[in-house]
Amino acid sequence: MKNSILTARSLSKSFAHNGEQVHILSGVDLDIYEGDFTVIMGASGSGKSTMLYALSGMDKATAGSVIYDGKNIVIMSEKELARLRYSDFGFIFQQMHLVSNLSLYENVVVSGYLNKKQSPAEVRERADALFKRIGIDHIKTHLPSQVSGGEQQRCAIARAVINQPKLLFADEPTGALNRKNTTEVLDLLTGLNQNGQSILMVTHDIRAAVRASRLLYLSDGNIIGELTLSPYEHSAEKSRETQVNAWLSSLEW
């Protein structure tokens, strides 16, 4: 039996548009489980980013609750939320948002120093290990502008996990990458998950979706489909793609 790490109940989000309320999330009930690589798929504009922001406290839901560690983040103060996001969550985005005048290594360790969960020496030790494991150790003194998009995203992932987050949130992390870089970034996320990192990713990229252990489908403001997958293996990628495509077809993807 898996532990639920995040529990959303009746989660709704609407935006005011030309004086009218547009409902993007309509009473979503959802549990995210520890150890899972959960992926939420959906068409462009279906509300995936909105969902990720509401679940991670980056944006406030309009109604409903999101329980994390016994607390409802929907009613937390900005200060409490900021502390929680910083201490327990990690974030990666389509755009890497690295600090342009800091080296790759500095981008990662500064995040660790600011967090204060680990001593500066511990931060550097963990950063060194991450850079080696991620394969960007040889370019760690480069500026973001001097490396490829895939290398920037791998650095952004190192920064997101330097403080050992309980849950890593990812919004279309492969959206700006070519095929080779996409594979590298997905391999890295798969490896982190195999080492126990809980991940919640939203994407409309099938290559990213096949990495999931649990796939959810968002449409018309709610989760309308779910697929549980066996542990990911490179050798079985083709049959996995077939399985995911069949599932998506059944949902009129």
Ligand X SMILES: Nc1ncnc2c1ncn2[C@@H]1O[C@H](COP(=O)(O)OP(=O)(O)O)[C@@H](O)[C@H]1O
User: 130: alpha, beta or left, given left = phi > 0 and alpha = psi -120 to 50?
Assistant: alpha
Q: Which is nearer to ligand X, 15 or 129 (CB)?
A: 15
Q: Which is nearer to ligand X, 14 or 243 (CB)?
A: 14
Q: Of the listed pieces 38-46, 62-70, 158-166, 226-234, which binds ligand X according to CB under 6 A?
A: 38-46
DSSP, res 70: T
Interacting residue with ligand X among 2, 15, 34, 132 (CB under 6 A): 15
Which residue's C-beta sits nearest to Mg ion?
49
Shortest distance in whole angstroms from residue 42 CB to ligand X: 5
Instruction: Please report the beta strands in 42-163, taking only residues with DSSP state E, as ranges in sequence order.
Output: 63-68, 71-72, 89-92
Using the rule CB under 5 A, is 203 a contact of Mg ion?
no
Number of residues that bind ligand X (CB under 6 A): 11
Using the rule CB under 6 A, is 198 a contact of ligand X?
no
> Which residue, among 62, 50, 117, has the nearest Cα to 90 in the 3D structure?
117
* Tokens read off for 173: 């992390």
Give Cα separations from 22 to 38, 53, 64, 171, 200 (angstroms). Answer: 27, 17, 16, 22, 25
Using the rule CB under 6 A, is 5 a contact of ligand X?
no
Contact 208, 173 (CB under 8 A): yes
Interacting residue with ligand X among 5, 6, 24, 123 (CB under 6 A): 24
Start-to-end CA distance of the chain, whole Å, equals 31
Shortest distance in whole angstroms from residue 212 CB to ligand X: 16
Instruction: Please report the beta strands in 34-172, taking only residues with DSSP state E, as ranges in sequence order.
Output: 37-41, 63-68, 71-72, 89-92, 167-171
Q: Which is nearer to ligand X, 96 or 136 (CB)?
A: 96
Taking CB under 5 A as the criterion, which residues in 18-57 touch Mg ion?
Answer: 48-49
Locate tokens 């109604």: which residue? 63
Taking CB under 6 A as the criterion, which residues in 41-80 touch ligand X?
Answer: 42, 44-50
Using the rule CB under 5 A, is 193 a contact of Mg ion?
no
Residues that bind ligand X (CB under 6 A): 15, 17, 24, 42, 44-50
Interface with Mg ion (CB under 5 A): 48-49
